[in-house]
């Protein structure tokens, strides 16, 4: 306890070069010290003794706060300093920085997140040109690399409110997302300037807007929210020309039927194989040209639209294909809107 000032100086040294406003102190106490402490508790029959580690945390935290003006926080510390009183050292743990916003994806063939090469598992091989990646880039990388550079983070991870297929566009207001930045040295960022820089470097492939600071609870909420999504789908009949009257009738009836959908085989490598029940809120024919049609769907989050169209070999019932009685294929899919709430009835 006579070396508390030395411990405070160690913490101050460890804090150099890091932007933060809240902190927490933790202490590792040697086992022999714990044993001596517990022996004293027993000797004097102490009912509610305070461990020495807790006293060190409080005193070092108080002194560090006085000399730096930083605020001690038990709930949301931006940095945690862990003291080792035996080795007389400090371990610094920087909490992640979360930034949320919306992104639009304006080019096909780009996945939402980094995708390890299937054959080598991300290790790198001749087929992936030793990049370890299935695709050259992703929405996550396009946004994350700029944020990583600005915050001086060690890594990043994109959490999206759902995801679009690699070959689909994400249009309209964009998809809500949270970027989690690991161990950032900078937290006070100019988000408007960051937004502009991301869009400049993306060169029209991806656009972001509405950037603002977020927290871990936002990530949890994004994973739980189902809401609804609006899609524009270009389809083709493999059984000849489509009958406009019949197609409109089938589309009008889809919202009245619960859609039972088994996880498509194409995504079972990352999704549990089970049957989900989802809803179509609206289905409207936009254009019909012979065997091809453009349809707009408003559907509950979690409904796979491609499988709603072609049926996935009976994995989705009812499907547009099964109700029309003709095989269908999806030529093009665009996401027009992602909303956090379900549409109002009526």
According to the model, what pLDDT value does residue 205 have? 97
According to the model, what pLDDT value does residue 52 have? 86
In a domain, 66, yes or no: yes
| Contact (CB, 8 A) for 183 and 153 | yes
Count of domains forming the chain:
3
Which tokens go with 272? 């549990």
Final residue in a domain of this structure, among 224, 247, 271: 224
According to the model, what pLDDT value does residue 151 have? 98
In a domain, 318, yes or no: yes
Whether residues 252 and 154 share a domain: the answer is no
User: Which are the contacts of 162, defined by CB distance < 8 A and separation ≥ 6?
Assistant: 175, 229, 301, 302, 338
In a domain, 10, yes or no: yes
The parts of the chain modelled with pLDDT lower than 50 are 346
Whether residues 88 and 206 share a domain: the answer is no
CATH number for 307: 3.30.70.3190
According to the model, what pLDDT value does residue 345 have? 52
Whether residues 220 and 250 share a domain: the answer is no
Whether residues 104 and 207 share a domain: the answer is yes
In a domain, 345, yes or no: no
Distance separating alpha carbons of residues 164 and 162, to the nearest angstrom? 7
Whether residues 247 and 330 share a domain: the answer is yes
165 is catalytic: yes
Whether residues 46 and 133 share a domain: the answer is no
Whether residues 104 and 208 share a domain: the answer is yes
Of the candidates 165, 218, 312, 334, the residue annotated as catalytic is 165
Whether residues 280 and 177 share a domain: the answer is no
In a domain, 344, yes or no: no
Q: For 156-174, what is each residue's pLDDT tens digit?
A: 999 999 999 999 999 999 9
Question: Helices (H), strands (E): how many in the chain?
Answer: 9, 15
How do beta strands 275-278 and 280-289 pair? unpaired
In a domain, 155, yes or no: yes
How do beta strands 71-72 and 22-28 pair? parallel
Whether residues 183 and 197 share a domain: the answer is yes
CATH number for 143: 3.30.70.2510
Whether residues 176 and 187 share a domain: the answer is yes
Whether residues 110 and 90 share a domain: the answer is no
Q: For 213-245, what is each residue's pLDDT tens digit?
A: 999 999 999 888 878 999 999 999 999 999 999
Q: Compute how many other C-beta atoms are within 10 angstroms of the C-beta atom of residue 65.
A: 15
Say whether the peptide bond before residue 340 is cis (omega within 30 degrees of 0).
no
CATH number for 44: 3.30.2300.10
In a domain, 172, yes or no: yes
Whether residues 209 and 328 share a domain: the answer is no
| Contact (CB, 8 A) for 84 and 90 | yes
Q: Compute how many other C-beta atoms are within 10 angstroms of the C-beta atom of residue 4.
A: 14
Final residue in a domain of this structure, among 36, 70, 94: 94
CA-wise closest residue to 180 among 197, 202, 155, 199: 155
Final residue in a domain of this structure, among 173, 189, 224: 224
- Going by the DSSP 8-state scheme, the letter that residue 116 receives in this structure is B
| Contact (CB, 8 A) for 207 and 106 | yes
| Domain of residue 238, residue span | 228-339
According to the model, what pLDDT value does residue 31 have? 85
Helix, strand, coil tally for the chain in percent (to 5): 30, 30, 35
In a domain, 346, yes or no: no
Q: For 102-111, what is each residue's pLDDT tens digit?
A: 999 999 999 9
């Amino acid at each position: 306890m006579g070396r508390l000032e030395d411990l405070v100086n160690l913490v101050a040294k460890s804090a150099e070069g890091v932007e933060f406003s809240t902190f927490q102190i933790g202490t590792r106490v040697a086992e022999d010290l714990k044993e001596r402490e517990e022996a004293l508790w027993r000797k004097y029959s102490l009912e509610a003794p305070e461990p020495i580690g807790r006293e060190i945390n409080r005193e070092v935290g108080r002194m560090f706060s006085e000399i730096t003006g930083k605020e001690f926080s038990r709930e949301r510390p931006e940095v945690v300093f862990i003291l080792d009183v035996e080795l007389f050292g400090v371990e610094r743990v920087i909490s992640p920085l979360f930034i949320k916003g919306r992104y639009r994806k304006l080019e096909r063939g780009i996945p939402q997140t980094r995708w390890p090469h299937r054959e080598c598992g991300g290790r790198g091989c001749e087929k992936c040109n030793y990049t370890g990646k299935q695709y050259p880039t992703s929405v996550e990388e396009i946004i994350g690399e700029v944020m990583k550079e600005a915050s001086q983070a060690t890594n990043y991870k994109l959490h999206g409110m759902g995801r679009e297929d690699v070959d689909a566009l994400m249009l309209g207001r964009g998809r809500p997302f949270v970027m989690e930045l690991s161990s950032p040295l900078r937290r006070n960022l100019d988000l408007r300037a960051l937004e502009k820089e991301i869009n400049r470097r993306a060169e029209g492939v991806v656009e972001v807007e509405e950037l603002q600071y977020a927290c871990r609870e936002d990530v949890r909420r994004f994973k739980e929210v189902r809401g609804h999504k609006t899609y524009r789908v270009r389809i083709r009949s493999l059984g000849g020309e489509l009958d406009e009257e019949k197609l409109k009738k089938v589309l009008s009836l889809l919202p009245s039927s619960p859609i039972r959908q088994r996880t498509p085989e194409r995504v079972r490598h990352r999704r549990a194989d089970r049957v989900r029940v989802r809803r179509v809120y609206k289905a409207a024919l936009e254009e019909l040209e012979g065997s091809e049609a453009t349809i707009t769907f408003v559907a509950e989050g979690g409904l796979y639209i491609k499988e709603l169209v072609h049926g996935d070999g009976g994995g989705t019932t009812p499907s547009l294909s099964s109700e029309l009685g003709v095989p269908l294929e999806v030529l093009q899919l665009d996401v027009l809107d992602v909303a956090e709430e379900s549409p109002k009835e009526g």
